Amino acid sequence: MPPEKFSWKHLYSEVVTTGLCTGCAGCVIACPHDVLDYDDTNGRYKPIQIEDFGGAGDCSHGDKACTSCTRACPRFRDWETEVDEFMFGRVRNEDELSGVYKDIVLARAADPVLHEVGQDGGLVSAILLHCLDEGIIDAALVSYLEGDGTTWKAKPGVARNREDIIASAGSRYTYSSNTLAYDEAVEGGAENIALVGMGCQSSIPGIMKARKAGKVARRITLSIGLLCSKTFDDAIFEELFEAKYGLKKSEMRKMNIKGVFQIWMKNGDYHEIPLKECHGWTREGCNHCPDFAAEHADISTGGIGAFNDWTLTVVRTDLGREIMGALLAKGMIEVRPGDDDPGAIELMHKLAKRSRKRWPETAVAAPRLIGA
């Protein structure tokens, strides 16, 4: 018997329609036949089949043994075990709640502009600038706001220089499938690309490489992760912030989540919305996500902890260590030991454990059982 070929049919029935699909778009960019598109309307954030063939779960190329989409999906079958083994040479231990890592530090950009525009310490922006300047990457897949920013609709885009990095810095808490900017980066000539994204996206390079997904896998050479427990539907702006609190999105300047949803307005006002009021707008793709700590990134970054303007930084790979070392040597970042804020590390593990419990019993066991 030839080995079974896993195609769109399997992905559709096991991931897209079962609640496991995060909307990361790994499958969309991996599809060599352009039969997958992406629907981000009405809070869907899901891949769709656009070929004039069969139904939503059919694909003529899949029927001819094309397996590209399943090779790129960080929720298909035993994805977590496969990426752990590929990246770290072993499966994580029971006590490695936030994944395998080498170092945890607190870091911030030395450049005052990057520090200012960054969500926490501006570390991600500093990493991208360094990697572009040194030719380690020639493009990064990041998130911008559409138009003049007043709609707060996050959209994927490409950063190629300092101006782009500054324009795309900061966090939006609605979904941006940065992966989708891959084609634009390649059309612009990029060969070595960084992917910035939450855990759902930062596992894409690892799974693609582990499952030998070809050219796309080879081009995404750096994965920068953002710690994340959920994103919200775009409707939260009108249906909660405006309807209940009278806060218009066009008047918002910045937002953050630190135990509460924090909103800074352009007129200088500051508001806090209890998180429990926001939960009703949790994006569907996040409901079963087990990955809080962006556990397959080269470097994972977060904002929890006692120090607001530092980035909690989890260095996972040799490449991640090399980049952090080079940034430090060039004076581009300031670093202090993670032990300066043990509460932040403890909270990261606690939130990672909580996310793991969301992985359903009906799916493969590993993401749920480890540390749960």
How far apart CA 99 and CA 74 sit, in angstroms, is: 15
Query: Interface with ligand SF4 by CB under 6 A: which range of 22-30, 117-125, 142-150, 346-354?
Result: 22-30
**Which amino acid, one-letter code, is at 292?**
F
Within 10 angstroms of residue 330's Cβ, the number of other Cβ atoms is: 13
Looking up tokens 């870091």 gives 107
Among ligand SF4, ligand FAD, none, partner that 21 touches (CB below 5 to 8 angstroms by kind): ligand SF4
Q: How far is CA 126 from CA 111, 161, 180, 349, 372, in A?
A: 8, 11, 23, 26, 35
User: Taking Cα atoms as reference points, which of 88, 77, 30 lies closest to residue 297?
Assistant: 88
Q: CB of residue 218 vs ligand SF4: minimum separation in angstroms? A: 18
Q: The tokens of 271 are what?
A: 């508001």
Among ligand FAD, ligand SF4, none, partner that 6 touches (CB below 5 to 8 angstroms by kind): none
Q: CB of residue 78 vs ligand FAD: minimum separation in angstroms? A: 26
Query: Interface with ligand SF4 by CB under 6 A: which range of 106-114, 142-150, 224-232, 312-320?
Result: 224-232
Instruction: Work out whether 194 is an interface residue with ligand FAD (CB under 6 A).
Output: no
Q: CB of residue 22 vs ligand SF4: minimum separation in angstroms? A: 4
Instruction: Work out whether 166 is an interface residue with ligand FAD (CB under 6 A).
Output: no
How far apart CA 187 and CA 194 sit, in angstroms, is: 15
The footprint of ligand FAD on residues 218-237 (CB under 6 A) is 226-229, 231
Q: Which is nearer to ligand FAD, 59 or 145 (CB)?
A: 145
Q: CB of residue 146 vs ligand FAD: minimum separation in angstroms? A: 12
Among ligand SF4, ligand FAD, none, partner that 47 touches (CB below 5 to 8 angstroms by kind): ligand SF4
User: Taking Cα atoms as reference points, which of 131, 203, 120, 205 lies closest to residue 161?
Assistant: 131
Dihedral, CA of residue 157, residue 158, residue 159 and residue 160, to nearest 10: -160
Instruction: Work out whether 352 is an interface residue with ligand SF4 (CB under 6 A).
Output: no
Displacement of CA 243 from its chain's centroid (Å): 29
* Residues 6+ away with beta carbon under 8 Å from 18: 360, 362, 363
The footprint of ligand SF4 on residues 153-212 (CB under 6 A) is 198-200
The footprint of ligand SF4 on residues 49-108 (CB under 6 A) is 72-73, 75
Instruction: Work out whether 169 is an interface residue with ligand FAD (CB under 6 A).
Output: yes
Are 302 and 227 in contact by the 8 Å Cβ rule? The answer is yes
Are 271 and 245 in contact by the 8 Å Cβ rule? The answer is yes
Q: Which is nearer to ligand SF4, 46 or 160 (CB)?
A: 46
Q: Which residues bind ligand SF4 (CB under 6 A)?
A: 11, 15-16, 21-27, 47, 72-73, 75, 198-200, 228-231, 285-286, 289, 291
